[in-house]
Amino acid sequence: MRNAWLQTVLISAIFLAAMLCVTIEAYAVGGRAGDQMESVESVEAARATQKSEAKAEEAEHVEHAGMDDDDQQASNDKTGDYDFQPVTQEHLLQGTNDPAYWLMYGGNYAGWRFSPLTDINSDNVKEMKAAWMFQTGIPAQMQTSPIVADGIIYLTAAYNHLFALDAVTGELLWRYDHELPDDMRVCCGPSNKGAAIAGDKVFMATLDARVIALNRKTGAVVWNTEMDHYANGFSSTVAPLVVRDKLIVGIAGGEYGIRGYIDAYDINTGERKWRRYTIPDKGEKGSETWAGDSWKHGGAPTWVTGSYDPDQNLLYWATGNTSPDWNGDVRKGDNLYSDSVLALDPDTGEIKWYFQFTPHDIWDYDGNTDLFLVNVERSGEIVKALAQPNRNGYLYVLDRSSGKYLHGTQYVDKLNWSKGLDEAGRPIVDPKYVPTAEGKEFICPGSVGGKNGSYTAAYSPLTQLMYVPTVESCWQMTKSASIFIKGIPFWGGGPGKTQGDDGSSYGHLSAIDPSTGEIKWRYQDAYPMMGGALATAGGLVFTGNLEGHALAFDDATGELLWKFQTGSSMRAQPVTYKAGGRQYVAIPSGGGGLAVTLVGEPPLTSKGSALLVFALPE
């Protein structure tokens, strides 16, 4: 399967190269456009002429697939009985303290993915049953984290579909189907990690590098802003983060040689307020870490949602791989600020401090995994810290006020690319385990990780443990020549054989103390663990596996207490909420994507896409 995928990529690359010399033609997808074919030139011309009218038209036009005016009125009528309250900054600061809400990707600004709910707990979770299920009808990987507000779930699916569902019954209230071009530049699958919410709007970033605000009562488009031109290699899969009046959004496209950035948009108008490039411009501090003009196409994408410390007014956002991925010859140096965490002023985008996890990344390790704002004990004192289980196999703990390295520990079983971390947290690279033209050595972990940014870990303030789903899959990595052509993959190599090929890959869920790095317990699974995690005050940790089981564990012992076969691999993020006096656990299910193809998946896996919601019997 993996070889077939690689052949497809090569064919696509050849096709894209050919397109540079001919008129490009594109079809809209998603079942909404007609059969009319338009050239990119004509599309761009139309955009130019319509730009002045766009905001007015979008405010009046509801983008529902196949809906006429009567259907739209019916959709509006369905939401008429809900008590819509504006989601304020005060609501966002509360995170999951109000159990009726799940307002952001990480649950709260600290990124914990923790709920104080205890109705479903370690004593009774075995009695939990399916309450309802919603099928998206989109058979592709589901990586979303649902948003819950005012009794409504806002659920995104692959290819930028967004659904509003009754949180108690699962009834579909409205849907939005974003019209996508036929020639998107998407590296690793058409996923979306979820929506954001503020005021009376719900927000989604798109695969064609746009940001969209919808009226959360009706699904009407309020504004639609282009981040960048997708044909140049840009896309966005991230769940945005709202900080006061700004919507923070990251970009993807590191495999296409983009120059990464983090954007902030006005939540009311869609106007871009600032842009922080993740690679310094020529002459800026850090530009000396790039040879020649390699910084122009150096990558460092930002496709995982960050965290925010309101006490210090600091936004933390991780950055990804360098370009080309596996060949660093043309970009000698540490390549700042790739594979890093940036602490930013959310009002201006100014960098306050940074820490680089993998300088001069030639393994495609990225730095894009979730960031946990936790307190750790250090020399008998409590330190406000930032913890990240990085894809390179190390758990890093930093002082989140200054970026000072506190400690780092290996959390994967197999790690050979580095001999350890020095006193500053810099990896000590073993030159035996780097990509080569022959690609003979198996390098651990492989490029997927470790902990991968496509799914989440969780943290419980009660146990003070992080719960980290992990991939154990070593790879051979090849290095090859690389030529940058805009809009075409810029890899400089790639994976050779992986342990997914011979079935020796596996996964685990590990409970880790961030103060010490000690692993308190570990559950091992036959396949890599690539589903997100949720911790609750009921003494539970929820996640899922590639065989399609939703799983619940005792948070203190790791005992498996409950499982349910969802019918497709688990790649998304579970959440929990309370509605009508009853606690629900919402678990999206839907396999697919490049990562699982490379690390190994069950041979009979099915490509589903559904939201399953569970509760105790009434």
CA atoms within 13 A on the CB side of 58: 20
Distance in angstroms (rounded) separating the CA atoms of residues 407 and 387:
10
Catalytic machinery residues: 364
What's the Rg (C-alpha) of the chain? 23
Q: Which two tokens stand for residue 385?
A: 């810290």
Sign for the CA dihedral angle at 517, 518, 520, 521 comes to positive
The secondary structure of residue 62, as a DSSP letter, is: B
Q: How far is CA 70 from the centre of its chain?
A: 36
Distance in angstroms (rounded) separating the CA atoms of residues 45 and 50:
9
Distance in angstroms (rounded) separating the CA atoms of residues 389 and 613:
28
Say if residues 143 and 530 touch (Cβ distance below 8 Å).
no
Say if residues 340 and 301 touch (Cβ distance below 8 Å).
no
Q: Which two tokens stand for residue 132?
A: 């309802």
Helix %, strand %, coil % for the chain, to 5?
A: 15, 35, 50
CA atoms within 13 A on the CB side of 492: 27
| Cβ-proximal residues to 503 (8 Å cutoff; 6+ apart), any chain | 600
Please, what is the Cα angle at 468 between 106 and 459, to 5 degrees? 45
Q: Which two tokens stand for residue 477?
A: 């990595």
* Three-state DSSP class for residue 230: helix
Say if residues 184 and 198 touch (Cβ distance below 8 Å).
no
Distance in angstroms (rounded) separating the CA atoms of residues 492 and 300:
16
Distance in angstroms (rounded) separating the CA atoms of residues 559 and 122:
10
| CA-to-CA separations, 12 to 9, 25, 184, 233, 323, in angstroms, rounded | 5, 15, 11, 13, 19
Distance in angstroms (rounded) separating the CA atoms of residues 98 and 131:
22
Distance in angstroms (rounded) separating the CA atoms of residues 217 and 425:
48
Task: Name which of 359, 457, 456, 458 is nearest 417 in CA terms.
Answer: 359
